[in-house]
Structure 1
Amino acid sequence: MQLLRLGPPGRERPAVRADDGVTYDLTPVTTDLTGEFLADDGIARTRDALAAGELQPIVVDGVRIGPPVAGVGKVVCIGLNYRDHAEEIGAAIPAEPVVFLKTPDTIVGPHDEVLVPRRSVKTDWEVELGVVIGRTARYLETAEEALACVAGYVVSHDVSEREFQIERGGQWDKGKNCETFNPLGPCLVPADEVADPQALGLRLWVNGTLRQDSSTANMIFPVAELVRYLSWFLVLRPGDLVNTGTPAGVALGQPEPKPYLRAGDVVELEIDGLGGQRQVLGQA
């Protein structure tokens, strides 16, 4: 089962794709896929409605796919969470998770245009496993408690501008929060339908060239530890998103001249079982 939001920006409607590939209108169950929906057993109610035949099939060909979660409260990101990525950019392996934030208004749909910022010379790609929170996570003690707070998983693209991030002073925020810098989706897959979040292949291509090809098995800090750890520094609430880091293969880690993104480039990315994204780069 996959949860989706379909339609123009700001007017998306909830839908569910069943295991047989048929997509159904989810408005009899909820007006939108919000944190409140996730916290209120919305996934279970969706399964019940599907099983009872209460939902009507819909035609989705040619319909825009929006971000699969509406009204994300905060986007918490983890840097340097793959050993090979830290090594390729010459960074030390962190003893604890490196944490930074992105603003929720960076989130766009999985196939929406990504804008290269004005004066940007180092716009970069990062395929990541996104974790969507379904229960409040606060001062968690165990991995089991942490995973119980996860509603589901999603493909997340943590687009970055490296000059803004690294060379312009201060923290990373300037290089992480440019408009359209977090395509999300296409769907939210419930946590109980992902057998092992630490055994998912993730890949990214730029203009048809494979740039990233790895597995979440290579994370330094796995999903359960990230959620547990974060809960001691901030409260994770239903609908929040955790971006769990990217593997090696980013432009920053390539030999000179580094192949940073330009307007007109095409980026495609995917994670096993979670679907794929495709963005054409535009100019802000």
Structure 2
Amino acid sequence: MRLLSFEGEGGPRVGAALGDSVVDLAAALAALGGDAAAIPGDMTAFLARGEAATVAAARALAFAARGENAALRRPLSSVTLLAPVPRPGKILGIGRNYGAHAKEVGGPVQEIPRIFFKPATAVAPPGALTRIPDAVRKPDWEAEIGVVIGRPARAVREADALRHVAGYTLLDDVSAREFQFDVQPPQTSFAKGMDGFCPMGPWIVTPEEAGEPWDLQIRCWLNGELVQEGNTRDLIFPVTALIAHLSRYMTLEPGDVIATGTPAGSGAFRDPPRWLRSGDRLRIECPRIGVLEHGIA
């Protein structure tokens, strides 16, 4: 499934993409004769209900897909998408996790993942315009694949890690590089945690559709120019290792997002450096996940 959050008449709703259409899963379940309350409108609450909610959503989606139930589908272009998890409990970023990116940055080989945090207030929906604070002079982009947690994870073994994954999404880890590189001590989480600095979406692709995360291609275009291209085969710490490592120290909860790192090619490491400007458009794509687009205000 491609699970998504969208703006409904009474607030956020959990839906699923069906081709170029969107299905309101609670409404479809009710039309099927089920209990609409089984699918809450908040994605974090939906994920917290575990397998029961997922099974109910699959039943609702299959029902809506029938030819005679076209009224349960609406054009994707007619709804306002939210970030798939509008208010994650925590966003855990992984720095320098692609081999090619680590090489362009330089420095010693990392023995453990490099962690930073982005707050929920950094999250922005697909199509959003990211507003760069006036005082920021070095705004940068980083295309990333996000792992959305579906089951609580504490002290998880790598062999069991994927059982805790709800699915995969895309995000842009926008960064104010002067706070990351030009001040001492570095303020990485602050540099990456400003309002709107985490556009996310367009949806969560569940593992049975996305497949295992060992071979996911990711590309980023800036104003139509291909600026980043990578594959999760190049991850220094793969998804299973990240979940095992993080869960050794903290509980990962449903709706938490792990930003797995960015390939080579972001603006700070170009010659000369290239910073985001008002009017820029970014397009991040993974064939097995989808396309996330957003702009710079």
Deviation string, structure 1 residues 232-255 (Cα, Å, up to 9, x no partner): 111101111110000100111101
Shift, 1:275, TM fit: 1.1
Is 1:37 the counterpart of 2:51 in the alignment? Answer: no
- Select 2:81's aligned residue among 44, 65, 75: 65
Is 1:164 equivalent to 2:145 in the alignment? Answer: no
Gaps of 5+ in 2: 28-35
Following superposition, the deviation at residue 274 of structure 1 comes to 1.2
Residue of structure 1 aligned with 2:114, choices 98, 110, 116: 98
Residue 23 of structure 1 is matched in structure 2 by 22
TM-score, with structure 1 as normaliser: 0.92
Give runs of aligned pairs for residues 98-137 of structure 1, distance below 5 A.
Answer: 98-137=114-153
Give the fraction of aligned pairs with identical amino acids, expressed as a percent. Answer: 35
1:152 corresponds to? 167
Q: Please, which runs of 5 or more residues in structure 1 have no aligned partner?
A: none
8 Å Cα contact 2:16/2:24 also seen in 1: yes
Shift of 1:60: 3.0
Equivalent residue in structure 2 for 1:86, among 88, 99, 102:
102
Does the 8 Å contact 2:43/2:84 carry over to 1? no
Structure 2 counterpart SS, 1:88: helix
Note if contact 1:107-1:180 (Cα within 8 Å) is conserved in structure 2.
Answer: yes
1:6 is matched with: 6
Q: Secondary structure, in 3 states, of the residue corresponding to 1:187?
A: strand
Q: Which residue of 1 aligns with 2:255?
A: 239
Q: Distance in 1 between the 2:130 and 2:240 partners?
A: 30
Name the CA distance, whole Å, in 2 between partners of 1:194 and 1:60: 20
Worse-superposed segment, 57-66 or 112-121: 57-66
Runs of 4 or more off by more than 6 Å in structure 1?
none
- From the CA coordinates, give the structure whose radius of gyration is larger: 2
Which amino acid in structure 2 is aligned with residue 51 of structure 1? A
Q: Is the 8 A contact 1:5 1:67 kept in 2?
A: yes
Bigger helix fraction: 2
- The answer to whether structure 1 residue 265 and structure 2 residue 265 are counterparts is no
Please report the TM-score for the alignment, with normalisation by the length of structure 2.
0.88
| Deviation for aligned residue 1:201 | 0.8
> Which letter does structure 2 place at the counterpart of 1:206?
L
Whether contact under 8 Å (1:80, 1:93) holds in the other structure is: no
C-alpha spacing 1:91/1:45, structure 2 compared with 1 (3 Å):
farther
Residue 50 of structure 1: aligned partner: 61
Q: Closer, same or farther in 2 for the Cα pair 1:117/1:91, shift >3 Å?
A: farther
Kindly indicate whether the alpha-carbon contact (under 8 Å) linking 1:89 and 1:252 is maintained by their aligned counterparts in 2: no
In structure 2, relative to structure 1, the CA distance for the partners of 1:251 and 1:70 (3 Å cut) is: closer
**Aligned AA for 1:39?**
A
CA distance in 2, matches of 1:194, 1:277: 16
Q: Is the 8 A contact 1:205 1:269 kept in 2?
A: yes
